[in-house]
Structure 1
């Protein structure tokens, strides 16, 4: 498995998060974002035990190849 970094949040302090990765083995995206801990928001979702929830800014959509025409800004 190889994760390919597609882009980091250009507005993130120190460039540490969020980040979009592509997993070439599964064909899925792996997202690094802010952990959602707010009980009210989590209570509105049906989250299985084996899953987690992150918050991901809309401005990061630019890094998905389906949106940007296939280029990566790693």
Structure 2
């Protein structure tokens, strides 16, 4: 796997913060975020299950630019 670092939360102190990468082989997004609290998970479960291989994470709206950049990187790679 070759991960292309996109960005960390711009308001972070640099430790354990939300981060976005793009897997350059698959164009998948890799997202590090805060674990969702129980109330958020319960609400998500109203629309379906959360398999053991998946997680609900929360990202700050400050990460919008990073997600857009990841979309552009994945889209550009898919066109090659």
Residue ranges of structure 2 left out of the alignment (5+ in a row): none
TM-score by length of 1: 0.75
TM-score by length of 2: 0.70
1:32-58 C-alpha deviation (Å, 9 max, x unpaired): 11111x222211113122211111111
Q: Which has the higher helix share?
A: 2
- Any runs of at least 4 consecutive aligned residues in structure 1 with deviations exceeding 2 A, and if so which? 64-67
Structure 2 distance, partners of 1:49, 1:30, is 17
Q: RMSD value over aligned CA atoms? A: 1.8
Structure 2 distance, partners of 1:61, 1:50, is 25
For the pair 1:44 / 2:47, whether they are aligned, the reply is: no
How many residues in Structure 1 have an aligned counterpart in Structure 2? Answer: 66
- Equivalent position to 1:61, from 57, 64, 71: 64
